[in-house]
Amino acid sequence: MTEKSILFNVDGDIATITLNRPDAGNALDESCTSLLLDATTRCELDPAIRCVVLTGRGKLFCGGGDIGGFRTAGDDIGEYLSKLAGILHMSVTRLMRMPKPLLVSVNGPAAGAGMSLALAGDVVIAGRSANFTTAYGAIGLTADLGMSWHLPRLVGMRRAQDLLYTSRRVASDEALEIGLVTAVVDDDALAEETAKRARRLADGAIGAIGRTKALLLNTYGESLETQLEYEARAITHSGMSAESREGVSAFLEKRKPVFKQT
């Protein structure tokens, strides 16, 4: 029996999506797209899931799109890419818009669409052997899965231009320095650090995290006055929540808040 190209597991309140084509560098092909969309939709809609982890199986996190599929498409490459990117973009939108944190655990090299997936995380932890390359320009393509949106915001326009035009490889230490990732850990510590951070996020004030996530997504596209109005509405709804009541009580009682029960 052929193993699925995307593995989905829920352990308590933490969901893990694993790219599962290790022999192909976890490259994204047609078999991945619908399964990834199913997994991300479940993550967005299931209220029992409080944190989502995205990672890869094997030596690579994700080598990008399946180049073999590009060649096989032949003269139908336009239709192939339009369908592939369209479905993958729906998955990225769900991961970025869902009102819960996404932790990306980069277990190895991330190229092209794989780098784009990594950049979508709210928290990105990379193993020391991981590296990043935009890759698109090296095969005559342009960025997808949100890379052209994320890169300038994370590293600035000049660095984004450099990375997109040259497809040069960025080692994990440089990735941390320029803001591509949240943290870098030794490879043998990645699983433990991922689990620890996922647990911390899942135990946090998920409602407030979701509203903050939405505010951050708006921040570059809105005027100051509009953003202030969004902030006023968000803090009002947050203050009325059971989460906030628990947080305030815990602070005054000098104890650790328990948000999961609220």
Q: Is the pLDDT of residue 16 over 80?
A: yes
Q: Where are the beta strands (DSSP E) in 101-258?
A: 102-106, 110-111, 123-127, 131-133, 170-171, 183-185
pLDDT confidence of residue 202: 97
Mean pLDDT, rounded, for 195-215: 96
Mean pLDDT, rounded, for 213-241: 93
pLDDT reading at 220 higher than 90: no
Q: What is the mean pLDDT of the chain?
A: 94
pLDDT at 71: 86
pTM of the model: 0.94
Helices of type H across 113-205: 113-119, 147-155, 157-166, 172-178, 190-202
User: In the prediction, which pLDDT does 1 show?
Assistant: 42
Distances (CA, A) of 222 to 97, 122, 152, 197: 17, 20, 17, 31
**What confidence score (pLDDT) does residue 262 get?**
54
Are 69 and 29 in contact by the 8 Å Cβ rule? The answer is yes
Token pair in block for residue 172:
């994990």
Q: Are 127 and 186 in contact (CB under 8 A)?
A: yes
**Cα angle 205-210-216, degrees, rounded to a multiple of 5:** 125
Task: Supply 214's token pair.
Answer: 């939405």
Mean pLDDT of 238-246: 93
Burial class from Cβ neighbours inside 10 Å (0-12, 13-18, 19+) for residue 186 reads exposed
Which of 102-106, 203-207, 257-261 has the lowest average pLDDT? 257-261
Chain Cα centroid distance, residue 30: 20
Residue 67 pLDDT level (bands cut at 50, 70, 90): confident
Domains and CATH numbers, the chain: 6-202 (3.90.226.10), 206-261 (1.10.12.10)
Percent residues over pLDDT 90 in the chain: 90
pLDDT score recorded for residue 2: 59
Q: How many CB atoms lie within 10 A of CB 127?
A: 21
- At residue 73 the predicted structure's pLDDT band, cuts being 50, 70 and 90, is confident
pLDDT value at position 12? 95
Average confidence (pLDDT) over 175-195:
98
